[in-house]
Amino acid sequence: MQTESQSRDVFYVSDGTAITCETVGHVVLGQFPFRANEQTFPFIESNDKLSELIRQIEQSFARHGVRPLVFFSMVVPELRERLQNAPAYCYDVLGSIVQNIQADTQMDPVPQLQRSRSVGKDTNTYFDRIAAIEYTLAHDDGVSLKGLEQADIILLGVSRSGKTPTSLYMAMQFGLRVVNYPFIADDIRALRLLPEFEMHRHKLFGLTIDAERLTEIRENRMAGSTYASTQQCQTELATVESLFRREAVPYINTSSLSVEEISARILEKSGLKRRLF
Amino acid sequence: MQTESQSRDVFYVSDGTAITCETVGHVVLGQFPFRANEQTFPFIESNDKLSELIRQIEQSFARHGVRPLVFFSMVVPELRERLQNAPAYCYDVLGSIVQNIQADTQMDPVPQLQRSRSVGKDTNTYFDRIAAIEYTLAHDDGVSLKGLEQADIILLGVSRSGKTPTSLYMAMQFGLRVVNYPFIADDIRALRLLPEFEMHRHKLFGLTIDAERLTEIRENRMAGSTYASTQQCQTELATVESLFRREAVPYINTSSLSVEEISARILEKSGLKRRLF
């Protein structure tokens, strides 16, 4: 028997991708002390698929003796009703918001099955997004410094400070064209900004990180190397941070931040606007 | 004066990244007939920042004569209350869900300021995610076929069928290691599966797309080229789809799907489990 305080089965259920259910559920569950066994059931658009899901909810209830949690979003009233009759605690993630907006704005909603970013609706958005990803891939890790005039932002930092994942996230989620350029250990003594960046100074943004955390990350990659040593990390970081300050490049410390948080902080500090929602 | 039915100012406000507010708000707004002028205000953790935001809400109200919509998530009760007194329609995106779970499970929530995927809490998750992104980058577009035994999935398809963005999204959001491999026009006549893939047949997954849509995408890249011609697109697609069927490679048509939808569909059809939430 599952003890209440230790773990709970959690189902994310939607007639679409279930991404919104996952996002909301994950954030909400972060506030509760139990461990969540999460499972996602996207594209539940038919009675057959729903029956299979309800069978699994019933099994979970039978096995653990407590109702699983279900975060759901479903447009068709009949399916929604069947789901809500299953032995689970059900939470509608868009919940009362749609109704409240309807009441506030006096406008009627048009429920849509396909709700995430959709291609058909807006081809330009699709192309913008793909173009941002391609540009960012082509300018990852200093591979190319051509076409900097098209860049929205240029990230600078030592190896393993979080540049690549942040760049890709910003391209994918915000539609931004991101260049990232590493400071290499050999350059570190006579560190200066590349002349290529002069004309694009306003696009420069630095990432830094605590030496302790950097050592941990580099150890995970190359255990026992000079590259990963505390001494080396400290030297690189001190030099780079002093460059950021001297050249008035805004920067943030990524040590305790997720990629999402780093990206949101960069937008906030740089004043850059996202091109996609 | 802004007409009710045409456009509305929308604010996403949070003491964190505001990603959840954006996700929920964007989905909800997709159901309403007005155009949304969206703006995000992350990290509103202090009275000062909140005051500046409230000033902007007041300006929006004064300018348009209608209250803007605010999708928010805020932990500190005093800040929340101040925001809710601004001239806006305010929607708490985690709204009643936390309270309902508390009532259902009889467990007390512990509100947290930092709510998205957090590094400090779970270093392994962080490393898994970074490793997935690196693996996927190293195996993009057929660049390398080494280490296929570490792949979670191998995507196949013609040029511009959506392989790269899908691979990156799956790595970033699901923590999966994705290989993607293009069918090149020259190979198309005598098309077969690479011998390297034989041992990993169960990991193969195909992407296809309507010829019309593929032409549109390729035209956007190389207008007037043979590469983009309807004839060429039709031939490539017919050949590749017949290979998928002959070799029993599961596949989906990406024509009207967003990257999120393609990724969710692949998980669903392949039975693959995400490694990250």
User: Using one digit for the tens of pLDDT, what is the confidence trace for A103-147?
Assistant: 999 999 987 765 555 554 567 788 899 999 999 999 999 999 999
Written as six digits, the tokens of B206 are 């195909």
pLDDT band, residue B182 (cuts 50/70/90): very high
pLDDT above 90 covers a percentage of chain A that reads 79
For chain A, give every residue range classified as CATH 3.40.50.
7-105, 123-270
Q: How far apart are CA B91 and CA A79, in angstroms?
A: 26
pLDDT band, residue A166 (cuts 50/70/90): very high
Q: Give the pLDDT mean for A209-232.
A: 95
pLDDT, residue B111, reads: 77
Please give the full DSSP string across B109-173, using - where no structure is assigned. Answer: ----S--SS-TTT-HHHHHHHHHHHHHHHHTGGGS--TTGGG-SEEEEEETTSSHHHHHHHHHHH
Is B128 at the interface with chain A, CB within 8 A? Answer: no
Known binding residues of A: 157-164
* Tens of pLDDT, residues B241-273: 999 999 999 999 999 899 999 999 999 999 998
pLDDT, residue B2, reads: 44
A167 neighbors A262 (Cβ within 8 angstroms): no
Tell me which fold the domain A7-105 belongs to: Rossmann fold (3.40.50)
What's the CA angle centered on B139, arms B267 and A223, to 5 degrees?
105
Is B119 at the interface with chain A, CB within 8 A? Answer: yes
User: Searching chain A, which residue's CA lies closest to the CA of residue B110?
Assistant: A31
pLDDT, residue B110, reads: 86
Beta bridge partners of B178: B153
pLDDT, residue B207, reads: 98
Q: Of chain B residues 6-35, which have a CB less than 8 A from chain A?
A: 8, 16-20, 22-24, 26-28, 30-34
Q: Which residue has the higher pLDDT, B186 or A147?
A: A147
Taking the CA of residue B66 and the nearest CA in chain A, the distance in Å comes to: 9
Interface A:B, Cβ pairs < 8 A = 221
Statement: residue A191 has pLDDT above 90: no
pLDDT, residue A112, reads: 73
Q: How far apart are CA A158 and CA A243, in angstroms?
A: 12
Beta bridge partners of A118: none
pLDDT, residue A115, reads: 54
Q: Of chain A residues 219-248, which have a CB less than 8 A from chain B?
A: 220
Taking the CA of residue B115 and the nearest CA in chain A, the distance in Å comes to: 6
A137 neighbors A131 (Cβ within 8 angstroms): no
pLDDT band, residue B51 (cuts 50/70/90): very high
A240 neighbors A183 (Cβ within 8 angstroms): yes
Statement: residue A268 has pLDDT above 80: yes
pLDDT band, residue B1 (cuts 50/70/90): very low
Which CATH entry fits the domain spanning A123-270: 2.60.40, 1.10.287, 3.40.50, 3.30.2010?
3.40.50
pLDDT band, residue A2 (cuts 50/70/90): very low
Q: Which amino acid is at B97?
A: I
pLDDT, residue B139, reads: 97
Q: Which residue has the tokens 């512990």?
A: B110
Q: Which residue has the higher pLDDT, B115 or B73?
A: B73
* Tens of pLDDT, residues B94-115: 978 999 999 999 999 987 765 5
pLDDT, residue A275, reads: 84
What is the residue-averaged pLDDT of chain A? 91
Residues of A in contact with B130 (CB under 8 A): 165
pLDDT, residue A188, reads: 65
